[in-house]
Structure 1
Amino acid sequence: MKLLLTSGGVTNRSIHNALVDMLDKPIADSTALCIPTAMYGHPWVGPGVKVWEFITGKPGNPMVDLGWKSVGVLELTALPSIDKDRWVPLVQETDVLLVSGGDALYLCHWMRQSGLADLLPSLNAVYVGMSAGSMVMAPEIGEYFVGWTPPSGRDETLSMVDFSLFAHLDHEMLPGNTMAAAEKWAGGIKGPAYAIDDQTAIKVIDGEAEVISEGNWKQL
């Protein structure tokens, strides 16, 4: 599948154009499923009103509120309790998966428990991640981003790309997310890594990564 890994969502024209190119058709003709699961695992986010805001595209959500033909909800924590034939065809037929931020390790756990992680490589859909929704595709997230602790006790994630991500670089609400902090974080990461701000995304097609940015980023 094609990956568009963002820090803050589809926040500018360059990222928007990259998404349309990956879809190979207008957003207005494309179906989407949003996945809010990561939000439940993060103490600053959910459960509660922010999950509702993500799902409904309010206020001005730069993922769901893009003018999709239709938007559905795929809640990963529910999937292990229902038959696969009730949700797998839905995922296989959708054009894009919109995966929220939150806690990357919580999201990783439920991607594996639900069976979605095994299904992802076979999909034709475009995967659009925001923050944790992007970081979960890496081999690891690094100790800096560990919040919810998985049963394994480790920071390993899905390894669907060969690099790790430091999201929300220089964000005004996250004063600790400086370039110096990103460089220190990268020192504990085994492979390549990128620090990206909310105006930056990384497009990955057939394993080839391309930075799309109207902001600040650095390969570490």
Structure 2
Amino acid sequence: MSHNYLGDSKTAETFGMKLLLTSGGIINSTIHNALVDMLGKPIADSNALCIPTAMYGHPWVGPGVKAWQFISGNSKNPMVDLGWKSVGVLELTALPSIDEDRWLPLVRETDVLLVAGGDALYLYHWMRQSGLADLLPSLDAVYVGMSAGSMVMAPNIGEEFVGWRPPTGGDKILDLVDFAMFPHLDHEMLPDNTLANAEKWAAGISVPGYAIDDQTAIKVTDGAVEVVSEGQWKLFTP
């Protein structure tokens, strides 16, 4: 296990949200303990909203059975199935078509947002279209991302991760933290996710880049950035 303090995120300190940016979900006790610490109360006393939106933009994970597995807590990446007091679904693609007073109170009152992986640019697009992107900095909640759900916090994702193309082009995303992420390092199902390819990716971005495996997460609280890991990770600096 390691708890490595790595400095400050200049952008993240400007808002109240706490971020737990994972590659593969709440997959080990170190990441689980970090989540409970950030919540400040037991998971069983905490209300969650899950956001599957990123899945629909990626051909490997949505729509269909994998989206259902995430929402129902039947996936191999623990997020929804941790024993929350309640879990609701917040589908960002639907929000522009309903009145804000039907969903804004839900988001403002939740303890945690559980944001699925998939396509980061698709997720960013719908965060903007729905209005959630503008709301995030003011939320007093824990944001738990998985893969693309974590990557979306960065200034950009790097050309290697561009799949779904936004109408405006480019690889710009939320820019709420001043680092980028390369998830699923050395994953057995993703032969291209090597440390050598992570280094090439890092050379193409203008901010520090973390390559992390599924046993690793990045915790951001009050601007402080900390890696919590039972696995492998590497920080690349420009």
Query: Does residue 216 of structure 2 align to residue 200 of structure 1?
Result: yes
Deviations along 1:12-54, one digit per CA (max 9) or x if unpaired, are 0000000000000000000000000000000001000000000
Q: Secondary structure at the match of 1:71?
A: strand
In the TM superposition, what is the alpha-carbon distance from 1:59 to its structure 2 partner?
Answer: 3.8
Query: Does residue 179 of structure 2 align to residue 160 of structure 1?
Result: no
Q: Secondary structure at the match of 2:84?
A: coil
* C-alpha RMSD over aligned residues: 0.6
In the TM superposition, what is the alpha-carbon distance from 1:194 to its structure 2 partner?
Answer: 0.4
Please, which of 95, 105, 118 is the counterpart of residue 79 of structure 1? 95
CA distance in 2, matches of 1:104, 1:40: 11
Deviations along 1:125-153, one digit per CA (max 9) or x if unpaired, are 10000000000000000001000000111
Correspondence for 1:142: 158
Correspondence for 1:43: 59
Q: Equivalent residues in 2 for 1:10-25 (5 A)?
A: 10-25=26-41
CA distance in 1, matches of 2:187, 2:86: 31
CA distance in 2, matches of 1:60, 1:199: 13
CA distance in 2, matches of 1:105, 1:183: 21
In the TM superposition, what is the alpha-carbon distance from 1:60 to its structure 2 partner?
Answer: 4.8
Q: Any gaps of 5 or more consecutive residues in structure 2?
A: 1-16
- The number of aligned residues is 220
In the TM superposition, what is the alpha-carbon distance from 1:208 to its structure 2 partner?
Answer: 1.4
Of structures 1 and 2, the one with the larger relative CO (CA 8 A, separation 6+) is 2
CA distance in 1, matches of 2:157, 2:121: 8
In the TM superposition, what is the alpha-carbon distance from 1:61 to its structure 2 partner?
Answer: 4.0
2:24 and 2:77 in contact (8 A); partners too? no
Q: Equivalent residues in 2 for 1:173-212 (5 A)?
A: 173-212=189-228
* Distance of aligned partners of 1:183 and 1:61 in 2 relative to their CA distance in 1, 3 Å threshold: closer
CA distance in 2, matches of 1:177, 1:116: 30
What TM-score do you get using the length of structure 1 for normalisation? 0.99
Percent identity, aligned pairs only?
A: 80
